[in-house]
């Protein structure tokens, strides 16, 4: 019974024992049964007990019944990435004492973790995840899947892409929110598994279209063009047309975050195709939309330095200043992207031996851990060429042997 659960919550919150609350009203045994919903009870008893707790039981019951819909509204705002509505719903729930009642506490904590992830407050989310892990909570099926979803997004946010995929794949069919297909798609994208990234992006797109989630449709279509170009490169004209439409859509919904990502993605595609001047223009446009505190600032700055260095578009002195600035910010954030800025600094200073020593001892071990296969392959190729050039033949052979042993012969599948 709702009244019993409410009475128990406020009794424990105010530090009363059952004996203290029951005194002069009913027996301790009767109160215990009321709290556990094991007996019938009169309205008069619950009214007297609630007065001793300084609450209005009728108001609290109405509040209890409305909480589930409030949680659903908060969750919907999170899925829609409507930050204004998210903040309003969170503020209302923060003022609601019953959010901490056992019926709602886990759901509130998990939605709060998701709220923090949307705002890139990764450490706050981490604290919630670690606390829930330690408590060993007996989840309901919905809570278990929601927890997996939260952990999947959290692992993706801190660069643990393999873990993100593992935990998201554990979500079962009883989970009604197919939004998690998008998070599976971007996790597979992060480890450059183009086929599965495209597969889950298509499933996510159908879900967002069915729920008229225009913001997330834009996110997913952005990912799909990346995957289409990765599988079979579109013509530059077709790619430019696709991105132009997405950029206009982002401007129409006034989403700076999405506009920034589109500038980054198209800049990266142009960089890959060696159109350095145009790539620089798009990335610079993205950088002007951000402050140094922005979550994506360092990712954009890393690409900007690479474009300008490859295209010989800025002096090494100017780029070195950019790299040192990025490195300082990354260290302050304790962000693993500091590895890439360290590489920029070493390269721009002309310290080739130190550059490849850092690749060997720091960069590759990190990417092997996170499962970024494309960057592993990229830096292993660079390292192999350096070993050959510097006549470190044993190291070159060891690296080549490792790669060959990992290959499977087309003719001998065993």
Q: Is residue 350 part of a domain?
A: no
Give residue 233's pLDDT. Answer: 65
SS3 state at 222: helix
Q: How many CA atoms lie within 13 A of 403 on its CB side?
A: 15
Token representation of residue 313: 């578009």
Residue 56: phi and psi, rounded to 5, are: -100, 110
List the pLDDT tens digit at each of the 414 positions of the chain.
788 999 999 999 899 999 999 999 999 999 999 988 888 888 899 899 999 999 999 998 999 889 989 999 999 999 998 889 999 999 999 989 888 888 888 999 999 999 999 998 999 999 999 999 888 778 889 999 999 999 999 999 988 899 999 999 999 999 988 999 999 999 998 888 888 999 999 999 999 999 989 889 999 988 888 877 766 667 888 888 889 999 998 898 888 888 998 999 999 999 989 999 999 999 999 999 999 988 889 999 999 999 999 999 999 999 999 999 999 999 999 999 999 999 999 999 999 999 999 999 999 999 888 777 778 888 999 999 999 999 999 999 988 887 766 655 444 444
The CA distance from 324 to 331, in Å, is: 11
Boundary residue ending a domain (177, 204, 229)? 177
Structural domain boundaries enclosing 146: 61-177
Classify 335 in phi/psi space as left (phi over 0), alpha (psi -120 to 50) or beta: beta
**Sign of CA pseudo-dihedral 160, 163, 167, 170:** positive
- For 253-392, where are the alpha helices, taking DSSP H only? 256-272, 276-288, 297-310, 316-333, 338-348, 352-358, 364-370, 373-389
Residue 73 and residue 169 share a domain: yes
DSSP letter (8 states) at residue 26: S
Give residue 411's pLDDT. Answer: 45
SS3 state at 45: helix
| Contacting residues for 22 by C-beta, under 8 A, at least 6 apart | 28, 30, 31, 49
DSSP letter (8 states) at residue 232: S
Residue 95 and residue 17 share a domain: no
Residue 156 and residue 87 share a domain: yes
- Which candidate, 98, 126, 101, places its Cα nearest to that of 112? 126
The CA distance from 217 to 221, in Å, is: 6
**Sign of CA pseudo-dihedral 36, 40, 41, 46:** positive
Residue 68 and residue 7 share a domain: no
Residue 175: count of CB within 10 angstroms of its CB? 16
The CA distance from 324 to 347, in Å, is: 12
Q: Is residue 107 part of a domain?
A: yes
DSSP conformation letters of 47-83: HHHHHHTT--HHHHHHHHHHHHHHHHHHHHHHHHT-H
Give residue 88's pLDDT. Answer: 94
Residue 95 and residue 40 share a domain: no
- Which candidate, 318, 268, 275, places its Cα nearest to that of 296? 268
| Contacting residues for 180 by C-beta, under 8 A, at least 6 apart | 149, 152, 168, 171
Residue 169 and residue 79 share a domain: yes
- Tokens 């886990």 correspond to 106
Q: Is residue 71 part of a domain?
A: yes
Boundary residue ending a domain (136, 158, 177)? 177
Q: Is residue 126 part of a domain?
A: yes
How many folded domains does the chain comprise?
A: 3
Boundary residue ending a domain (19, 38, 55)? 55
Residue 76 and residue 42 share a domain: no
Residue 25's domain is classified under what CATH number? 1.10.260.40
């Amino acid at each position: 019974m709702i009244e019993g659960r409410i009475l128990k919550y406020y009794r424990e919150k105010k530090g009363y024992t059952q004996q203290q609350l029951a005194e002069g009203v009913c027996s301790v045994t009767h109160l215990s049964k009321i709290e556990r919903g094991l007996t019938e009870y009169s309205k008069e008893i619950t009214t007297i007990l609630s007065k001793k707790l300084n609450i209005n039981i009728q108001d609290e019951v109405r509040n209890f019944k409305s909480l589930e819909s409030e949680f659903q509204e908060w969750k919907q705002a999170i899925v829609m990435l409507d930050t204004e509505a998210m903040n309003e719903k969170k503020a209302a729930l923060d003022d609601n004492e019953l959010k901490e009642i056992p019926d709602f506490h886990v759901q509130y904590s998990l939605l709060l973790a998701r709220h923090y992830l949307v705002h890139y407050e990764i450490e706050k989310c981490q604290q919630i995840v670690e606390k829930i892990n330690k408590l060993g909570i007996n989840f309901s099926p919905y809570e278990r899947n929601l927890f997996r979803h939260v952990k999947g997004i959290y692992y993706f946010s801190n660069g643990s892409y393999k873990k993100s995929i593992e935990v998201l794949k554990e979500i079962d069919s009883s989970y009604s929110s197919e939004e998690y297909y998008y998070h599976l798609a971007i996790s597979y994208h992060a480890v450059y598994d183009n086929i599965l990234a495209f597969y889950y992006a298509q499933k996510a797109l159908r879900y967002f279209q069915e729920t008229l989630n225009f913001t997330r449709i834009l996110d997913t279509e952005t990912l799909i063009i990346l995957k289409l170009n990765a599988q079979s490169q579109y013509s530059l004209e077709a790619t430019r047309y696709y991105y132009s439409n997405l950029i206009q859509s982002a401007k129409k919904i006034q989403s700076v975050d999405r506009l920034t990502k589109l500038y980054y993605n198209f800049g990266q595609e142009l960089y890959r195709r060696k159109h350095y001047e145009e790539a620089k223009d798009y990335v610079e446009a993205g950088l002007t939309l951000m402050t140094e505190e922005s979550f994506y600032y360092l990712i954009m700055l890393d690409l900007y330095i690479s474009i300008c260095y490859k295209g010989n578009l800025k002096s090494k002195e100017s780029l070195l200043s950019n790299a040192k600035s990025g490195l300082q910010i990354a260290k302050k954030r304790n962000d693993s992207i500091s590895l890439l800025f360290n590489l920029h600094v070493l390269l721009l200073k002309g310290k080739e031996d130190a550059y490849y020593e850092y690749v060997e001892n720091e960069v590759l071990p990190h990417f092997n851990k996170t499962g970024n296969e494309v960057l592993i392959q990229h830096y292993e190729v660079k390292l192999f060429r350096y070993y050959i050039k510097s006549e470190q033949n044993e190291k070159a052979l060891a690296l080549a042997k490792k790669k060959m042993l990992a290959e499977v012969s087309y003719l001998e599948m065993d």
